[in-house]
Structure 1
Amino acid sequence: MSYCTNVHPAEDLAGIVAQLDRYAVPVRDRLGADRLGVGLWLAAPVARALAADRAARARMRAELDARGLAVYTLNAFPYGGFHAEVVKHAVYHPTWSETARAAYTLDCVTVLADLLADDAAYGSISTLPLAWRTPWTGSDDVRATMALDEITRTLRASAARDGRPIRLAVEPEPGCVLDTVDDAVRWLAGRVDPKYVGLCLDTCHLAVSFADPAAALAGIADAGLDVVKVQASAALHVADPRAPADREALAAFAEPRYLHQVRELAEDGRVLRADDLPAEGLTAGDHPAGDLPGAGPWRVHFHMPLHADPPAPLTTTTGDLRAVFAHLRGDPHIEVETYTWSVLPGGHDLVDGIAAELRWAERALAQSRTPAGMPVPEGIAR
């Protein structure tokens, strides 16, 4: 289990090391752990520089080892600028139809091969679900398939050389070409080598789509694909979007940096869609602003701390994460990915928050694997 460093804004090597000192090492100390897993996010220029310099990779590995930090996974979804004043749709560029995306991913493969913890059975790299849904053409589909073929050839060569595979994990996200887990399964099955390419299951995204966790996991397995990585995350749940108290509480989360896709569960079972949380109008009028009627509950793509409740009457979807843990097959990498601390309403201590999330996630995972009535083993969550 790791926490994802895309919560930190550093986009150069010196800044990344400084952020590890400022946050990751204190989190490890707070947990009383000898080692802490960090899911590194390396912006494209950093990945490119490290990939081109074996000595620099060796120095980075030494910096990690000296701090008791272990790398099992990289997050290669954001290319760069992830803490810009406005990110929104920019996070989906470059797409998998552009050569820059494959080049960035290949750089990450080279870097991870040398940073991978000694006890890792494999390494994982999560990536975006091709692109935002528009514009996307048949030609884009062909180019993306060719790019993934190129990545797979490199992954095979890396595994043959180093003895441990690195696996690419495609992460479905609402609003993208691969919007849901079902979309990703249909696109990947028969198109990729499942030994090297599988899914990253972001449990916030899963919950936003109102998918059944057990059915989603079964569909992945039935298609012969693997969950390579789980991003342990939670969405906002709004039980009654028409209620003034719900709208007022939700208005605090309408912020300009990240895209916050919204889904509504209609009475007939359809999932209605809006591309973002409306920035204005949530506290006015008889109906919610935007494209959704508000007659059914909403799920909002806003990664919420796993251990903490939002202001009432809002809740989160940690129940879906627990259900994923309960039905998960194999032993995928688990990465706590709450990148939204900087835009959460109210003040927060990031070290305390990350440590508390990791304790929560470790305990939830242990409970999912402990027979009913048996105590959770000592030391799982300190």
Structure 2
Amino acid sequence: MSPLSYCTNVHPAEDLPGVLAQLDRYAEPVRRLVGVDVLGLGLWLPAVLAHELAESPELRAKLRAELDARGLEVRTLNAFPYGGFHDEVVKHSVYRPEWTDRARLRYTVDCALVLGDLLPDAATYGSISTLPLAWRTPWSDADDEAATAAFAELTGALDGMAAASGRPIRLAVEPEPGCVLDTVADAVAWLAPRVDPRYVGLCLDTCHLAVSFADPAATVASIHAAGLAVVKVQASAALQVENPGSEEARAALADFTEPRYLHQVRERTATGTVLAADDLPEAMTDLPGREPWRVHFHVPLHARPAAPLSATTDVLRTAIAALESTVDDMPHVEVETYTWSVLPETAGNGGDTALIRGIAAELRWAGANLLELGGVR
């Protein structure tokens, strides 16, 4: 069985009382609605809170006890956003600090220390997803060297933790359009000669994978051929637009244009060239719109957008099937639809009840369509 979780970066909380409150307000009601005894959380801890917990064994024990009391467990952390993930405008700030900044290294080490004490007894490893080094500009050879050194220092810290606990914490680097490691191919090429694969591998975000127009099965094969592993899957779907130049499609896409998050767009031409825009408003003016688009906008797995839009859930299914046929033990699978508050059909509507029902529906969809995941259906 592969552990299934949902990512709590969908909930705004920047301190421990906020995180504990969201367990009562959202996570436990989701667990009850899904109908399982234990539900996995892909916990997001802002940097200030991660450091507070890393400094205090007592606070870590308190958090573990609060999780246990509600039938919740944590095998994976999302350490991509450093903080402020629900600010009015996030956009490019989500990529800071970069892996050239020691603050990113400290944050990741703090997360690893915390996760080591949160892991359930049955877990064989813990995973932490992280950003693909930085946004692509500016990036220099000196930056490359600094990031390489940071990964080496992190690996030393993770090796020491594994020796002490007997269970490794593994970093999962998450390629994202527009970043230094834009595609999985970029990430494999950068990581393979630099990292210890016992501690560093890939986070396969299937929304990002779809936006890149890469073949999912070939992508999974390329990761393993390079001696790396998929440490974690973020089960997610992108918006797809078959005819982005049509008036109907333009009107539908306008509803997804919002100010908080960056929504990168890719258009694949008839010759196979992939054209890029860094955000949806830019795509609406700069891309030709003659061939299909894929948009970095995480949409709920269980609910297809209304025509003429669709979702790339087939990419997710194919990637999971490729992993199942490649590895003996599946990686952690985390449902990461963080966009509920900015979806056109949900923005400002439905409140907590709609969000709880939506997350539960996604988890049931994942259980029914992807894997036999710990009894989740």
Interval of TM-score (by shorter of Structure 1 and Structure 2):
over 0.9
Question: Which residue pairs with 1:305 in the alignment?
Answer: 300
Structure 2 residue matching 1:40: 3-state secondary structure: strand
The 8 Å contact of residues 126 and 200 in structure 1, kept in 2 or not, is answered as yes
The 8 Å contact of residues 274 and 290 in structure 1, kept in 2 or not, is answered as no
Alignment of 1:103-142 (within 5 A): 103-142=106-145
Q: Deviations over 1:225-279 (max 9, x none)?
A: 0000000000000100111111111110000000000000111100000000007
* Unaligned stretches of 5+ residues in structure 2: none
Distance 1:64 1:44 in 2: 20
Give 1:380 deviation, angstroms.
Answer: 4.2
254-263 or 356-365, which deviates more: 356-365
1:345 aligns with 2:347: no
Alignment of 1:168-179 (within 5 A): 168-179=171-182
Question: Which residue pairs with 2:333 in the alignment?
Answer: 334
Structure 1 residue matching 2:107: 3-state secondary structure: helix
RMSD: 1.2
Give 1:381 deviation, angstroms.
Answer: 4.5
Give 1:44 deviation, angstroms.
Answer: 0.3
Distance 1:335 1:381 in 2: 13
The 8 Å contact of residues 231 and 335 in structure 1, kept in 2 or not, is answered as yes
1:259 aligns with 2:262: yes
The structure showing larger relative contact order (alpha-carbon pairs under 8 Å, at least 6 residues apart) is 2
1:355 aligns with 2:360: yes
Amino acid at match of 1:190: P
Alignment of 1:185-334 (within 5 A): 185-278=188-281, 289-328=284-323, 329-330=326-327, 331-334=330-333
Structure 1 residue matching 2:85: 3-state secondary structure: coil
* Unaligned stretches of 5+ residues in structure 1: 280-287, 370-376
Give 1:83 deviation, angstroms.
Answer: 0.3
Q: Deviations over 1:11-32 (max 9, x none)?
A: 1100011011111000000011
Distance 2:285 2:102 in 1: 35
Question: Which residue pairs with 2:18 in the alignment?
Answer: 15
Amino acid at match of 2:339: T
Q: Deviations over 1:167-209 (max 9, x none)?
A: 0000000000000000000000020000100000000000000
Distance 2:216 2:170 in 1: 23
The 8 Å contact of residues 273 and 291 in structure 1, kept in 2 or not, is answered as no
244-253 or 176-185, which deviates more: 244-253
Aligned equivalent of 1:87, options 69, 85, 90: 90
The 8 Å contact of residues 36 and 376 in structure 2, kept in 1 or not, is answered as no
Distance 2:106 2:159 in 1: 16
1:41 aligns with 2:44: yes
Amino acid at match of 2:300: P
Distance 1:189 1:289 in 2: 36
Q: Deviations over 1:310-361 (max 9, x none)?
A: 1211000000000011101331000000000000012351110000001111
Give 1:289 deviation, angstroms.
Answer: 2.8
Normalised by the length of structure 2, the TM-score is 0.95
The 8 Å contact of residues 152 and 193 in structure 1, kept in 2 or not, is answered as yes
Distance 2:285 2:215 in 1: 26
Distance 1:245 1:350 in 2: 28
Distance 1:138 1:291 in 2: 30
- Paired-residue identity, %: 67
Question: Which residue pairs with 2:35 in the alignment?
Answer: 32
